[in-house]
């Protein structure tokens, strides 16, 4: 019973970080109808940013997120404005392939400069896990969880209370009508992509004390991201949160109760089933 | 036996009854018009019969053979061809290539298929435009292209979805003439249309749909005087 | 004009290994042919039918493992094993196609990715069958005589001609399909699936046929891989990166053209092998860069663009 509780807690904690990454991907899809294959590499860049700022200048990652998130926001806006904007009119599939190229480029430039060595970021205060109610909770993961909730809440407020958020939601529903209503769709695209990138990078920064870091980590992450976003419904933020936590739980419980070997397979089989029978996601809120 | 028989056809989307308990027969050689206010379910009926949509309930049979559950291409093979409300040509292919694809249903070799395609294009007065890419054709030409494409599959029944929409009076006239000729060639026609004058002229019989239900079925002049039909189009006050 | 080019190409193809004894160049040529083979078969589905599969490596892996296992466990001749690999790959294409073709566009692509990953994970974990992450190894290829002489498996030359034969067959098949009714049907599917159905085309059957043909060739290529590299493991032959590289070769070369994959393979693989030789890494940077440049500025690919240029001059 204890191990069940432990699995659930681990699953939820990790899942919440997955969720944050997935939110970034899903809002970009919702507003721009792009599936950004380079999203996982944005997480990787965030991870490396935090790693270097800690290793070289001693800045704690939970602080440096305030540097890297805005930087990556700006970077994302530039990528959208100067790279993606010209490719989007060529269609969904072409844009998908373009982001595949971008992903390969980013990951391999990183590989070239930083080598494929596995790195870890070890925080001094993180060596011993906390043990509330006998459940082992790694401290960095706990802090990351709390910050992820804070960031997601901020995003929720942005989307529901601000003009920019409303414009984003309008564009997601119908870009043409939004444009006719006076929304500067080009600017919203830039902001959305910047936001998606910032979320990915922030998640990376928060995750780096808890994961192995290497330049091609984006590959696994983007695949997990797809599974989450399809499970939760493409374009739905609550869906991404639910999907992320669900995947975290499936992996965690699967490792304990099914087998460590096949735990990843379960996620994919679930993914295929949802794609085939409930393409709008488990909760039916996604766009087909 | 009627050529096409529809019994109790029903389609429900969530809470919406798009088509309710529709039954009618289509007789060989006739031109049947399907009219009704917007949202009445006319295109849905087309999609249900031609296999693009699965019905919630009901039976459809062509010469006694059941059509429900067949994929669209199988329905075409049985002898029903259709056009689309918003034209869907193969945009980057030429008119000839568009129709040749349809001709391949009955002709195995490319030269024979192309020959059939050419004949169909002549039939709709598009012979000279066969080398033009579909995306470069005018709306009227694209509509005729779609008809040629449908005819190339050698159908028993041709389903036309709003063939006159977007056409100017001269083109509508030509369209009506084309439908008459198609009927003369032995093909039964059922068409959805909003252009009242056109459909009144070319139809032998008209069915009126409203909120997914059939509210009238008879000769054109009788249907337009039907009180229910007037109420549906103009409101209760007009009756 | 194209016939002349093709004839010249075949001449070069046949005589090339005799012109150089340098093993690096021989390996390079073999890799170019190998990737041409893969690019051409991906193109059948992705270029002609417009169905972008992100999981094509699944057939490579199946072909590789079938060949390995039939040789190591059953003692079957590796060449029969290769054919078996292709055939079994094609057989798998049917259920995979029937599942994945229910989806369209990017959803189809994601589904193929999921299928490939599932198979990779199964291969990784089903150790009784595949020896898992340790992989399978061929230490000795069987003696074989050809035209009176015994084949020297230590030299790259026999592999070169094998690869060349496979690549030529693949291109021949692509060419034949493009001229056939199936090819026309695939174009219709690419343009507009609903319209295709509306003119009586069984779009599922057309796509599954294209996938099966494609899978057969990729399966053969998998068999070749296992004979040439003599070692397979799940991460080598089922990797997402392999699937992605196939796409890149086809797109950069020119989708829906017969010669596009050659151009794509020549450009990308040459760069890749040179970089791999000098820097041990970094070659994929060019893949990414080329993909981005081609999609943005030359969507018909290098060969497609060249063809347009030549046609404009004519």
How far apart are the CA of C177 and the nearest CA of chain B, in angstroms? 13
Of residues A52 and A276, more confidence is placed in: A52
Quote the tokens at residue C100.
Answer: 């994945």
CB A44 within 8 A of CB A217: yes
Provide, as residue numbers in chain B, all residues whose Cβ is less than 8 Å from the Cβ of C184: 97, 100-101, 104, 110
Contact B84 C192 (CB under 8 A): no
Q: Is C285 on the interface with A (CB under 8 A)?
A: yes
Quote the tokens at residue A33.
Answer: 């109808």
Sheet strands (E) in C43-184: 136-137, 145-146, 149-150
**C105 → closest Cβ in A93, A101, A108:** A93
Q: Is B126 left (phi over 0), alpha (psi -120 to 50) or beta?
A: alpha
Per-residue pLDDT tens over the stretch B92-115: 999 999 999 999 999 988 899 999
Domains (range + CATH), chain A: 2-112+135-277 (1.10.3470)
Whole-number pLDDT of residue A286 = 65
Which residue in C172, C169, C143 sits closest to C158, CA to CA? C143
**Residue A53: which pLDDT band, with cuts at 50, 70 and 90?**
very high
Contact A104 C114 (CB under 8 A): no
CA atoms within 13 A of residue C249's CA, in its CB half-sphere: 32
Backbone angles phi, psi at B62, to 5 degrees: -110, 115
A251 CB contacts (<8 Å, ≥6 apart)? Answer: A11, A14, A263, A264, A267
Whole-number pLDDT of residue A287 = 62
**C292 → closest Cβ in A102, A223, A269:** A102
Per-residue pLDDT tens over the stretch C12-33: 777 777 777 788 888 888 999 9
Provide, as residue numbers in chain B, all residues whose Cβ is less than 8 Å from the Cβ of C188: 90, 101
pLDDT above 70: residue B223: yes
Per-residue pLDDT tens over the stretch A206-253: 999 988 899 989 988 998 898 898 888 888 899 999 999 998 998 888
CATH number for position C6:
1.10.3470
CA B179-B183-B188 angle, to 5 degrees, is 105
| Distance from C-alpha of C283 to C-alpha of C291, rounded to nearest angstrom | 13
Contact C118 A279 (CB under 8 A): no
Q: Is C110 on the interface with A (CB under 8 A)?
A: yes
Contact B90 C191 (CB under 8 A): yes
Q: Indicate the DSSP class of residue B132.
A: S
Chains A and C touch (3+ CB pairs under 8 A): yes
Rounded to 10 degrees, what is the CA torsion of B143, B144, B146, B152? 170
Whole-number pLDDT of residue C281 = 66
**Residue C132: which pLDDT band, with cuts at 50, 70 and 90?**
confident
Average pLDDT, chain A: 88
Share of chain C above pLDDT 70, in %: 97
Whole-number pLDDT of residue A137 = 86
Of residues A254 and C67, more confidence is placed in: C67
| Distance from C-alpha of B98 to C-alpha of C142, rounded to nearest angstrom | 53
CA C247-C253-C255 angle, to 5 degrees, is 65
Q: Is C115 on the interface with A (CB under 8 A)?
A: yes
CB C196 within 8 A of CB C187: no
CB C55 within 8 A of CB C214: no
Average pLDDT over every residue of C148-174: 84
Per-residue pLDDT tens over the stretch B120-166: 999 999 999 999 999 999 999 999 999 999 999 999 999 999 999 98
For residue C118, give the chain A residue with the closest CA.
A265
| Distance from C-alpha of C313 to C-alpha of C218, rounded to nearest angstrom | 37
Residue C207 belongs to domain spanning: 2-313
Contact B76 C185 (CB under 8 A): no
Whole-number pLDDT of residue B144 = 95
How far apart are the CA of C203 and the nearest CA of chain B, in angstroms? 8
Contact C192 B90 (CB under 8 A): yes
Average pLDDT, chain B: 91
Q: Indicate the DSSP class of residue B37.
A: S
| Distance from C-alpha of C310 to C-alpha of A205, rounded to nearest angstrom | 51
pLDDT above 80: residue C115: yes
pLDDT above 60: residue B11: yes
Contact A226 C113 (CB under 8 A): yes
Contact C117 A223 (CB under 8 A): yes
Average pLDDT over every residue of B81-99: 94
CB C233 within 8 A of CB C133: yes
pLDDT above 90: residue B16: no
This complex has an ipTM of 0.88
pLDDT above 70: residue A2: no
Three-state DSSP class for residue C70: helix
**Residue A39: which pLDDT band, with cuts at 50, 70 and 90?**
very high
Look at chain C and report how many structural domains it folds into: 1
Q: Is A184 on the interface with C (CB under 8 A)?
A: no
| Distance from C-alpha of B79 to C-alpha of B194, rounded to nearest angstrom | 26
| Distance from C-alpha of C167 to C-alpha of A161, rounded to nearest angstrom | 59
């Amino acid at each position: 019973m204890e191990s069940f509780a432990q699995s659930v807690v681990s699953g939820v904690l990790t899942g919440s970080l997955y969720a944050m990454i997935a939110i970034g991907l899903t809002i970009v899809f919702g507003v721009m109808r792009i599936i950004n294959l380079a999203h996982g590499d944005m997480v990787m860049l965030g991870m490396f940013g935090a790693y270097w700022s800690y290793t070289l200048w001693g800045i704690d990652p939970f602080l440096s997120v305030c540097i890297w998130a805005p930087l990556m926001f700006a970077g994302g806006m530039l990528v959208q404005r100067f790279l993606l904007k010209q490719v989007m009119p060529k269609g969904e599939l072409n844009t998908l392939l373009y982001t595949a190229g971008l992903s390969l480029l980013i990951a391999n430039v990183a590989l070239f400069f930083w080598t494929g060595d596995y790195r870890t970021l070890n925080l001094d205060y993180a060596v011993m896990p906390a043990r509330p109610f006998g459940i082992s909770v790694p401290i960095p993961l706990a802090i990351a969880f709390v910050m992820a909730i804070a960031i997601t809440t901020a995003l929720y407020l942005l989307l529901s209370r601000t003009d920019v958020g409303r414009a984003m939601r309008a564009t997601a529903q119908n870009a043409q009508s939004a444009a006719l209503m006076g929304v500067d769709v080009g600017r919203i695209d830039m902001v959305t992509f910047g936001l998606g990138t910032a979320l990915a990078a922030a998640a990376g920064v928060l995750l780096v004390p808890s994961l192995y870091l290497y330049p091609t980590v984006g590959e696994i992450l983007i695949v997990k991201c797809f599974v989450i976003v399809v499970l939760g419904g493409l374009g739905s933020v609550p869906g991404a949160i639910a999907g992320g936590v669900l995947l975290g739980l499936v992996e965690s419980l699967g490792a304990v109760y099914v087998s460590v070997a096949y735990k990843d397979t379960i996620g994919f089989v679930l993914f295929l089933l949802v794609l085939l029978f409930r393409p709008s996601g488990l909760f039916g809120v996604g766009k087909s | 036996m009627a050529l096409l028989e529809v019994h109790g056809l029903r389609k429900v989307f969530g809470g919406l009854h798009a088509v309710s308990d529709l039954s009618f027969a289509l007789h060989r050689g006739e031109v049947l018009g399907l009219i009704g206010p917007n949202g009445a379910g006319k295109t849905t009926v087309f999609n249900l019969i031609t296999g693009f949509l699965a019905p919630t309930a009901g039976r459809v049979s062509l010469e006694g053979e059941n059509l429900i559950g067949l994929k669209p291409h199988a329905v075409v093979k049985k002898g029903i061809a259709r056009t689309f409300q918003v034209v869907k040509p193969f945009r980057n292919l030429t008119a000839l290539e568009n129709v040749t694809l349809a001709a391949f249903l009955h002709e195995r070799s490319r030269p024979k298929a192309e020959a059939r395609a050419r004949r169909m294009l002549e039939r709709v007065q598009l012979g000279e435009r066969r080398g033009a890419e579909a995306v470069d054709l005018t709306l009227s030409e694209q509509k005729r292209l779609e008809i040629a494409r449908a005819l190339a599959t050698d159908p028993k029944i041709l389903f036309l979805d709003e063939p006159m929409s977007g056409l100017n009076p001269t083109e509508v006239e030509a369209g009506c003439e084309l439908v008459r000729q198609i009927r003369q060639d032995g093909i039964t026609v059922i068409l959805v249309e909003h252009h009242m004058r056109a459909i009144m002229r070319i139809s032998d019989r008209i069915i009126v749909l409203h909120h997914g239900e059939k509210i009238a079925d008879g000769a054109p002049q009788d249907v337009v005087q039907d009180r229910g039909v007037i109420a549906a189009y103009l409101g209760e006050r007009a009756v | 004009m194209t016939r002349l080019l093709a004839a010249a190409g075949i001449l070069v193809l046949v005589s090339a290994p005799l012109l150089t004894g340098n093993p690096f160049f021989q390996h390079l040529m073999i890799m170019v042919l190998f990737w041409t083979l893969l690019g051409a078969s991906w193109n059948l589905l992705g270029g002609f039918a417009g169905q972008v599969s992100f999981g094509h490596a699944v057939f490579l892996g199946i072909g590789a493992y079938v060949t390995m296992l039939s040789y190591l466990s059953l003692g079957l001749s590796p060449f029969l094993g290769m054919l078996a690999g292709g055939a079994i790959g094609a057989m798998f294409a049917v259920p995979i196609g029937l599942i994945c073709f229910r989806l369209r566009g990017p959803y189809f692509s994601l589904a193929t990715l999921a299928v490939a990953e599932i198979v990779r994970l199964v291969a990784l974990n089903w150790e009784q069958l595949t020896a898992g992450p340790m992989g399978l190894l061929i230490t000795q290829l069987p003696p074989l005589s050809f035209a009176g002489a015994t084949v020297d498996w230590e030299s790259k030359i026999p592999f070169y001609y094998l690869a060349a034969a496979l690549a030529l067959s693949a291109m021949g098949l692509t060419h034949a399909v493009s001229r056939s009714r199936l090819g026309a049907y695939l174009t219709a599917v690419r343009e507009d699936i609903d319209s295709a159905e509306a003119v009586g085309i069984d779009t599922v059957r057309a796509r599954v046929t294209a996938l099966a043909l494609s899978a057969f060739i990729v399966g053969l290529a998998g068999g070749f891989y296992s004979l040439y590299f003599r070692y397979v493991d799940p991460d080598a032959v089922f990797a997402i990166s392999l699937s992605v590289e196939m796409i890149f070769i086809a797109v950069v070369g020119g989708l829906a053209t017969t010669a596009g994959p050659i151009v794509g393979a020549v450009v990308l693989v040459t760069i890749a092998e040179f970089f791999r030789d000098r820097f041990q890494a970094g070659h994929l940077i060019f893949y990414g860069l080329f993909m981005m440049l081609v999609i943005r500025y030359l969507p018909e690919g290098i060969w497609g663009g060249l063809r347009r240029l030549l046609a404009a001059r004519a």
